[in-house]
Amino acid sequence: MLTYVLRRFGYSVPVVLVASFLLFWGVRTAFDPLAKLRFVPDPTVLARETARLGLDRPVPVQYWLWLKEFVTGDWGTSSRTGGPVRDLIFPALGTTLQLLFWGALFASLVALAVGVYSAVRQYSVGDFALTGLSYVGIAMPPFWLGLILIQVLAAWPQQQFGTADPPLYFVGLHSASGGGFGDYVRHLVLPVLTLTVGLVASWSRYTRATMLETLASDYVRTARAKGVPRWQVITRHALRTALGPFVSIAAVDAGILFGGLVVTEQIFAIRGMGRLFLDSLVSGDVFVLIPWMLVVAAAVIVFNLLADVSYALLDPRVRLR
C-alpha cells in the first residue's frame, strides 16, 4: 500500500509544477501588476518597480524566481491591502475547509442513503419521487436556492413569529459577539444546504446506478442463494463495492468545489477562498491571484490523490495496477 501511495504522489508532483507554471503564465499575461503605477507622473517609479519585481525578464525566469520565494514561505504582498498574501489566504482557506468538510459529510450521508434506497426499491413510488427531486436539485441554480433558503428559513419565520433573531443566520459563520457551537451551527446550516443540494442530487443518482449494477452481479446473487440475510447482502457486499466509485467521484467534486465557492460565499458574506478570489479579481491584485490559484490547483490534485488512495483501500485489486 505504501508503494502505491508513493507512486501516486510521485505522479502528482509534476502535475502541480506544470499547473503552477500555466497559471502563473496566464495571470501574468492577463493582468498588469503595475497598472496603477502607469498613471504616476514620475517614470522612475514604474521603472524601479518593474526591475524590483523582475517584470523585465522572460516569464519562465519570473516563474522560477517566484516559485523559489513561494516554497520558502514568501508569498508576496497584496496590492489591495498592503499586507502579506499568506495572512489573507490562510484564514480564507480555513473558512472554506469548514464549508467543504460539513458540506461533503452531509452530502455523502444523504446521497448514500437516498441512492441505496432507490436502488433497493427500484421503480417504487419512493424511487420515482426521489428521482424527480434529484432532477430538480441538479437543475436548481445555487444563487437562487441560497436566496430562497434565506427567505423561507430565516426571514419569513422571524417576520411570522416576531422573534428578535432569525432561527438561522445568513451572514458569515460566526456572530460578532461569539455564541459558541450553537451559534456556529445556526450560521452553517444555510450555506451548507445551498452548497450540497446539487451534490446530493447528483451523487445519489450515481450511487443508485452503481448499486443497481452491483446488486445484479454474480457474487451478490450467490450470496442470496446461500441464504445470507438481505441487509448483509446490501451493506457488506453491494454497498462496500459501490463505495469505491462513490468515493472517487465525491473526492473529485470536493476538489473542484474548493475553488468554486464564489457564489455561496458571496451570498452569505463568508470570507473564504471564493470571496477572496472575487475581491482580488475585481481589484486586479495579481499578487494574491497567483498564490490563490496554486493553492486551489494543489487542493484539486490532493483530493484526487485521496480518491485514489481511498479506492485502493476499498478495492485491493487497484493497488496492483
Residue 218 sits in which domain range?
A: 90-283
In angstroms, the CA 308 to CA 301 distance is 11
Query: Which pLDDT score, from 0 to 100, does residue 235 have?
Result: 81
Instruction: Confirm whether 243 is domain-assigned.
Output: yes
Instruction: Confirm whether 19 is domain-assigned.
Output: no
- Assign 259 to helix, strand or coil: coil
Instruction: Confirm whether 311 is domain-assigned.
Output: no
Q: What percent of the residues of the chain are helix, what percent strand, and what percent coil, each to the nearest 5? A: 80, 0, 20
Query: Which pLDDT score, from 0 to 100, does residue 16 have?
Result: 83
Amino acid in position 264: T
Select from 168, 142, 145, 146 the least CA-distant residue to 155: 168
Q: What is the mean pLDDT of each run of 10 residues along the chain (321 residues)?
A: 70 83 85 74 76 82 88 87 90 90 91 92 91 90 90 90 87 80 90 90 90 85 83 81 82 74 88 89 86 86 79 62 54
Instruction: Confirm whether 76 is domain-assigned.
Output: no
Total number of domains in the chain: 1
Query: Which pLDDT score, from 0 to 100, does residue 1 have?
Result: 65
Cβ atoms within 10 Å of 101's Cβ, excluding its own: 12
DSSP β-bridge partners for residue 84: 77
Instruction: Confirm whether 219 is domain-assigned.
Output: yes
pTM of the model: 0.83
Cell of 221: 446473487
Instruction: Confirm whether 125 is domain-assigned.
Output: yes
Q: How many Cα atoms sit within 13 Å of 302 on the Cβ side? A: 7
236-241 long-range Cβ contacts below 8 angstroms, 24+ apart: 238/211, 238/214, 239/112, 239/116, 239/211, 239/214, 240/314, 241/214, 241/217, 241/315
Query: Which pLDDT score, from 0 to 100, does residue 82 have?
Result: 84
CATH number of the domain that 123 lies in?
Answer: 1.10.3720.10
Query: Which pLDDT score, from 0 to 100, does residue 317 have?
Result: 59
For residue 40, the Cα-to-chain-centroid distance in whole angstroms is 41
Q: Return the axis-axis angle of helices 59-71 and 286-314, rounded to nearest 10°.
A: 70
- Cell 516563474: give the residue: 63
Q: How many Cα atoms sit within 13 Å of 158 on the Cβ side? A: 12
Instruction: Confirm whether 71 is domain-assigned.
Output: no
Instruction: Confirm whether 244 is domain-assigned.
Output: yes
